[in-house]
Amino acid sequence: MKTIQQALLLALCICVSGCSPVAPWQRGTLAKPQMALESYPLQSTFNAHIYGSREAATGSSAAGGGGCGCY
């Protein structure tokens, strides 16, 4: 498991450092509904409730935002 985490962290570093700057007008793809971090928020809430009542690992995911350069 440790390995998986390390691999993911490494991937993260590579990505962040290797990011190509995306101009505000180049974010049409990122703004597509299928690119939303949470595609179906209400269903996710429902599922999280079920998982939370069946598994020991409780909620608390983090982050959000970003995406399109719209204000």
Partner 1 sequence: MAVIKRILTKRHAENAGNSLLTMAYRQLSERLLTRTITKPKPTTAVSASLQALTAAALSLPGLMPATAQAADEEVSFLYGYYEESNRNLFGVNSRFDPIVVDSLLGSSKIKLSDRLKFAFNYTQDTWSGATPIATAPLSFGGNKEGGVISGATPFLQNNGVLFDKQLNPLRQDALTGEYIKDSQLVHTLSSASPEIRKQGDFKLSYEWDEATLDAGGGISVENDYESRFGNLAGRWDFNRKLTSLNLGLSYTDSDTRAILDHDATPYIFDVGRGAESYNNTSGSGRIQKEGRNNVLRGNRQDWGTALGLTQVLNETALLEAGIGYTRSTGYMANPYKVVEAAFIDPAQTGEVLTGVSIGLLEKRPNERNQWTENLRYVQYIGGLDAALHFDYRFFHDDWGINAHTFEADWVQPLGHGWTITPKVRYYSQDAADFYTPYMASNQAFSKTAVDQSGRPIYVEADNPDNGNVYFRDKDFNLVDADGKIVDEIAVNPINKAIPFDRNKLPGHYSSDHRLSGFGALSGGLTVSKQFAKGVSFEAGAEYYTHAGSMKLGGGGEGAYADYNYYTVNAVLKVDLSALSLAGSEHSGHAGHNHHGGHAPAGVMFDHMMDKAGDVMFGARYMNSTQSGAMLHGTNEVSDQAIVQQGCGDDGCFTVPGGMNMNMIMLDLMYAPTDWLTLMLMPQFVDMDMSTRELNGAPSATFNRQSLINHHTLHEHTTSGIGDTGVYAMFKLFDEAGHHLHGTLGVSAPTGDVGVKFRDTHRIDAGFQHYGMQLGSGTWDFKPSITYSGKLDKYGWGAQLNSTIRLEHNNETGFAFGDMFQSTAWGSYSLLNWLSTSVRGVYTVQGSIRNEYNGTFNKLGPVDYPANHGGRYWDVGFGINAFVPTGSLQGNNLSFEWLQPVSDDVNGYQLPREGALSATWSYAF
Partner 2 sequence: MLALTQIPTVFAAEVGSKAPDCELSSINDKQRYNLQQFHGKVLYVDFWSSWCPPCAKSFPFMNELDRDLKDSGLQVIAINLDQTHEDAKTFLAKYPANFTVAADENEKCARDFDVKAMPSSYLIDRNGVIRHIHLGFREGAAEELRLVAGQLLAEKPEPK
Binding site for partner 2 (CB under 8 A): 23-25, 27-28, 31-32, 68-71
The candidate with the shortest Cα–Cα distance to 45, out of 67, 68, 61, is: 61
**Taking the complex as a whole, how short is the minimal distance between the CB of residue 6 and partner 1, in angstroms?**
12
> Contacting partner 1 (CB under 8 A), which of 3, 6, 10, 19?
19
Which partner, partner 2, partner 1, none, binds residue 17 by CB below 5 to 8 Å per kind? none
Q: Which residue shows structure tokens 């703004």?
A: 31
> In the complex, what is the shortest distance from the CB of residue 70 to partner 2, in angstroms, rounded to a whole number?
5
**CA–centroid distance for 50 within its chain:** 21
Q: How far apart are CA 11 and CA 16, in angstroms?
A: 9
